Homo-oligomer: A and B are copies of this chain.
Amino acid sequence: MERTWTTALAGKIGQLVRLMGWLHRLRQHRNVSFLVLRDAKGLAQIVVEDPALVERVAALHAESVLAVTGVVVARPEAPGGVEVHQPVFDVITAASEPPPFDLFRPRLPAQLPTILDHAPVALRHPRHRAYFQLAAALTGGFRATLRDLDFTEIQTPKLVAGATESGADVFPVDYFGQTAYLAQSPQFYKQMMVGVFERVYEVGPVFRAEPHDTPRHLNEYVSLDAEMGFITDHTEVMAVLSRVLAGMLGAVRAEAAAALTLLELELPEVPAAIPSLHFTEAVELVSTATGEDARHEPDLAPAHERWLGDWAKREHGSDFLFVVGYPMRKRPFYTHPDPHRPDYSNGFDLIFRGLELVTGGQRLHRHEDYLTTIAARGLSASSLAGYLDAFKHGMPPHGGFAIGLERFVARLVGADNIRETTLFPRDLHRLTP
């Protein structure tokens, strides 16, 4: 007999169906018991009246895997408006222990470390599962939008010979007796690939050996990267990013509607023109409003990003805000300066609900500019030889951006800690499960 998804029951009233899934909950009453079965799509309520059957089911631990055959009955007061009656159970796999926490509560009744210790079980909770349905939809929307814009997908190596971003924050790997490093970003490779495909994107892991123990940092995360050639400046990159964000949120609406309902989420709108402030304007606003003089800082403090996020919401009704033209001295060596104000960059951050979500900008494209900046910053041209090769041989003006996937989900669902929206987080203290 073919399997029916729990979410398809409402269309099968009066029919005999076969469900398969996990024993989510059993509520025993004097005359009748209710078993809630969970499958990949949803939940179904099964009415068990036969005392012998109730006893058999009650002997199973929650999370046992069952097949249930029964008749679908309309019941307006039941969840989803249907129930399954006259059930026959097959135990596919009996759980050997009860779960470490009740999965049927609206929120997992456990602290974050316990949830993370038991991730294989915790992720089965409908709310946690929904986070990763959002992540899958966002990722799909990222790719689909860029494919429509003539971008080509690439997969670049994660074992590399040196740092791409900051030299200190790389993980060393014992590579057949040599030292390799884990890529902090696909930055160099996506730039090189602009010489091949002009427009490229990659979805992949990045590794940051930052010894930060904060609710915002991970040591491994998923980066959604794009890079494009033949641009005039960073504003074209920002325009593509705006379309990508709209495409990502559109994919969530289209493909993760059930997750949105379950999480009771309002998705943000991407404004036709995302409000934009120059870095100098942003620090001026913050300094005037807060009385803290941020005018000589090379970067925005987290509290100032939050203030600017509130400002964008208040003044422009926007959850998104571009801050453009960060000082060159805090941006990586490949950053292109603003030709009119060379102490400032053609680089931007996108702040989403008060947190930096995307970093991007125009990159240097002339070989001689790379040699100059590498010398000025005291970097080693020889360790960058492979990368510089691309620039010797003709590269167009180009730029791109990188979106942190887990961070995007965390801000969308209002998670306090990015670990909640990370499948199996890696941090200073955690390498398992």
Contacts and interface: CB of A to CB of B under 8 A. Distances in A.
Interface extent on A, as a size class?
Answer: 35 or more
B120 A393 contact: yes
Contact of A156 (B92, B199, B368, B423): B423
B365 A93 contact: yes
A193 B123 contact: yes
Interface string A415-433: 0000000011110100111
Interface string A145-161: 00100101111111111
Contacts of A161: 431-432
Q: From DSSP, what is the main secondary structure of chain A's interface residues?
A: mixed
Contacts of A385: 432-433
Contacts of A23: 394
Contacts of A118: 389
A237 B65 CA distance: 20
Given A20-B230, A155-B405, A386-B120, A394 B195 contact: no
17 contacts: A40-B150, A40-B152, A64-B394, A99-B393, A118-B389, A120-B196, A123-B195, A124-B196, A132-B154, A136-B154, A157-B425, A159-B207, A161-B432, A171-B180, A178-B431, A182-B182, A192-B433
A65 B366 CA distance: 11
A139 interface: yes
Contact of A390 (B64, B120, B207, B230): B120
Contacts of A175: 171, 219, 431
Given A155-B205, A174-B171, A94 B132 contact: no
Interface of A: 3, 20, 22-23, 39-40, 61, 63-65, 92-97, 99, 118-121, 123-124, 129, 132-133, 135-136, 139-140, 143, 147, 150, 152-161, 171-176, 178, 180, 182, 189, 192-193, 195-199, 203-205, 207, 209, 211, 219-220, 222, 230, 365-368, 385-387, 389-397, 405, 423-426, 428, 431-433
A220 B393 contact: no
Contact of A180 (B132, B153, B431): B431
A394 B124 CA distance: 11
A63 B394 CA distance: 5
A211 B129 CA distance: 39
A395 B424 CA distance: 19
A205 B158 contact: yes
Nearest to A219: B159
A96 B391 CA distance: 8
Contact of A176 (B133, B209, B387): B209
Nearest to A222: B155
